[in-house]
Structure 1
Amino acid sequence: MKHQTKAIRMTRKLAPLTALALVALTPACAQGDVDLTNKSAIEKIVRDYILENPEIIEEALIALSEKKAEEEAAAARKAITDNHDLIYKSKNDFAIGPEDAPVTLVEFFDYRCGYCKRSMEWTMALPEKYDNKVRVVFKEFPILTAESEKAALAALAAGEQGKYAEMHRELMQLDNSTGFDKDDIDAAAERAGVNVDKMRADMESVKLQKVVADNKSLARKIGVDGTPAFFVGDEFVPGADQSRVNMMIENALAEIG
C-alpha cells in the first residue's frame, strides 16, 4: 500500500511535467486530433500511457530517490563546512591523541547509548591504532534521559580536573539498568581519581551547562539526531559503523600522504 500510494503521488507529479511530451507521441496528436488545451484529454493520455508502461513509475521513483540522496548529501557537506570550527576546533571539547594529528575524528555520544558503550574501547584505541596520526574529539550530546545530561556534566567537570578520559571510560562502563543515579556517578568519579565535591560544584556551573546546550544546538545545525555520530573532514557517519569510520580515517590519511 505504501509503495502504491507513493506511485500514485509520483504519477500526479509526472503528469503535468510529461503530458505534452507523451501526447506528442500519439497518432492522434500527429493527426491533429488532440486539443492540447484540454486538461482532461491530456491527463487521460498520460494515464493510459503509464498503465501500458508501468515500469516508468519505478524508474522515476529510483531517479527521484537518487536525486534526493544527492541533494541531502550536498546539504550535509555544506552544513559541516559552515560549522567546521565548531565541530573540530572548539576549546570546550576534550580529546585524546596528539593536538597536531593530521586527522581528527569527532564523536557525538550519550553515556546511556548502548552503541556508544560498545564502541568505546574501539574509539579510545584509534590514536594508537593509527600511530598517533588520529585525534579523537568527544562531543557530549546527552539526548536519551535526564541522567544522560548529569553524566555529561560530570564528565566535563572531571575534565576540569584533567581527568576527562578516565571519567569517560568509567561512565561508559556503567550499567544502564542501575539508572545512573548520583551514587553511581560519584562512585565512577572516585574510581577515575576525581575530586567528587569539586566535580559536583562544577556541574552546576553555567559554563559547563552551556557546553552541553551548545553541542545540542550544533547537532541540530549539522543534522545529528542520534548517537553515536562520527565526523571526519566533510563526511558524517550516523551510527556505530566502525568499518565505515575506519575507511573514512584511512581515506583521509591517504589524501595527506
Structure 2
Amino acid sequence: MLKFSALAVSLLACTSDTRDLERKIDALSTRINTLEARVGAGARAQPPQRPRRPEPEPKDVFAVSIEGLPFRGPADAPITIVEGYEYACPACNVARQSVKQTFEKYGDKVRVVYKPYIVHPDVAIDSSVAVCAAHQQGKFDAMDTAVWEKAFGTRDFSAAKLSTVAAETGLDMARYTKDLPSCRQSVMQHHAELEGFGQGATPTFYINGRYVVGASPAKLHAVIDQELALAEERISAGTSKADYYATWVIGKGLKKFEPKS
C-alpha cells in the first residue's frame, strides 16, 4: 500500500474541506488497491500452453514399410520392431542399449529394422544418407557403429567427416559417392512416411506396427509381450512366420494416422 502523507498535506493546502479531502484519499486508495490486485493476478497467470501434438492410440497398428531397409535379427521373427531414428539424437544413442537388452531378452523372436526419421535436418540428414550408402554395399552394421562412435561421438556430421568414416569402414568410395543422391531421396521418403504415421520425435518404435515413443526397455517389452502372445496365437492358427509382418501389419495396418477431432 502506498503512503499518502505527502499527498494529504498537499491537498490540505488546496482545500479547507476536510471531508472532501478524505473522499479524495479514499477514492485514490481504492484505485491503487484495484491496480495492485490486477498486477498480482497478472503475475500469477500462467503463459498459454502450446496445444499437445496428437499421437496415435496405443492399440493402433500402422503398416510401416520395411522393404530394402537394414535390420538385425531373423527375417522371419514374429516380432518386427521398426525404429524411427537419426544419428544426431542423444536419445537414439541411448536407445542402442535398450535394443541390445531387447535382443538379450527375446533372442530370435525379434528383429529390429532401422528407418530414418530426421529431427535435426541441418546435421542429421547426411549421416543417414551415408549409412544408407553403406547399406547398399552390405556394410550397414559397420557404418552404423562407426557413425555413432566417430560422428556422433565428436558431434561432427560434415560430409568430409562422413566420407572419412566411410573410407575407414572399407567402403568402395566411388560407389559410395554414386549412391548418395538416391540414398538422400530414400531417406526423405522414409521420413515422410513416418511423419504420416504421427511421428514427431526420435526414437519412436513400431512394434508389429504399434507406436511407442521413447527408449524405456520396460515400456518396449510390455508391448512386445502383448504382440508376441498374439503373433504366436496367429502362427499356431496357420499364418507362416515368414509372412506374419506382411499379412498382419502391412496387410491390415493403418496406412496413415488420422487424428481424432
TM-score by length of 1: 0.63
User: CA offset at residue 118 of structure 1?
Assistant: 1.8
Aligned residue in 2 for 1:215? 190
Q: Deviations over 1:49-89 (max 9, x none)?
A: xxxxxxxxxxxxxxxxxxx99x9544x755x44xx1xx1x4
The runs of at least 4 consecutive aligned structure 1 residues that moved more than 6 Å come to none
Instruction: Name whichever structure is richer in helix by fraction.
Output: 1
- State the distance in 2 between where 1:73 and 1:157 align: 32
Identity of aligned residues (%): 24
Out of 213, 227, 230, the residue aligned to residue 255 of structure 1 is: 230
Instruction: Give the alignment's Cα RMSD to 1 decimal.
Output: 2.8
Q: Name the CA shift for 1:130/1:197 in 2 (closer, same or farther; >3 Å).
A: same
Instruction: Between 184-193 and 138-147, report the one with greater CA deviation.
Output: 184-193
Closer/same/farther in 2, CA of residues 99 and 256 from structure 1, 3 Å limit: same
Q: Which residue of 2 is the match for residue 241 of structure 1?
A: 216
CA distance in 1 between counterparts of 2:159 and 2:56 reads 41
The answer to whether the 8 Å contact 2:56/2:211 transfers is no
The answer on whether the counterparts of 2:87 and 2:152 sit within 8 Å (CA) in structure 1 is no
Residue by residue, what CA displacement relative to the aligned partner does 1:140-171 show, whole Å, maximum 9, x if unpaired? 11230333111111101000000012111211
Tell me what 2:252 maps to: none
Distance (Å, rounded) in 1 between the aligned partners of 2:119 and 2:213: 15
Using the TM superposition, give the Cα deviation of residue 177 of structure 1 relative to its aligned residue in structure 2, in angstroms.
4.7
For residues 161 and 177 of structure 1, the distance between their equivalents in structure 2, rounded to whole angstroms, comes to 25
8 Å CA contact 1:111, 1:172 repeated in 2: yes
Letter in 1 for 2:198: G
- Structure 2's unaligned 5+ residue stretches are 1-44, 233-261
Unaligned 5+ segments in structure 1 are 7-67
Equivalent residue runs for 1:90-169 within 5 Å: 90-124=66-100, 126-169=102-145
Structure 1 residue 125, shift from structure 2 partner: 5.7
What corresponds to 2:166 in structure 1?
189
Q: Distance in 2 between matches of 1:253 and 1:72?
A: 23
Deviations 1:160-199 (A, max 9, x none): 0000121112112233554212332123223433223321
Larger RCO (alpha carbons 8 Å, 6+ apart): 2
Match of 2:181 among 177, 189, 204: 204
Question: How far, CA to CA, are the matches of 1:233 and 1:182 in structure 2?
Answer: 34
Aligned-partner Cα distance in 2 for 1:77–1:218: 19
Q: CA 1:147 to 1:198, structure 2 compared with 1: closer, same or farther past 3 Å?
A: farther
Q: What is the Cα deviation at residue 123 of structure 1? A: 2.0
Q: Does the 8 Å contact 1:112/1:176 carry over to 2?
A: no
Matched-pair contact (CA < 8 Å) for 2:98–2:216: no
CA distance in 2, matches of 1:110, 1:197: 25
Aligned residues of 1:104 and 1:232 also touching (Cα < 8 A): yes
Normalised by the length of structure 2, the TM-score is 0.62
Tell me which structure has the larger Cα radius of gyration.
Answer: 2
Q: 1:105, 1:230 within 8 Å by CA — same for their partners in 2?
A: yes
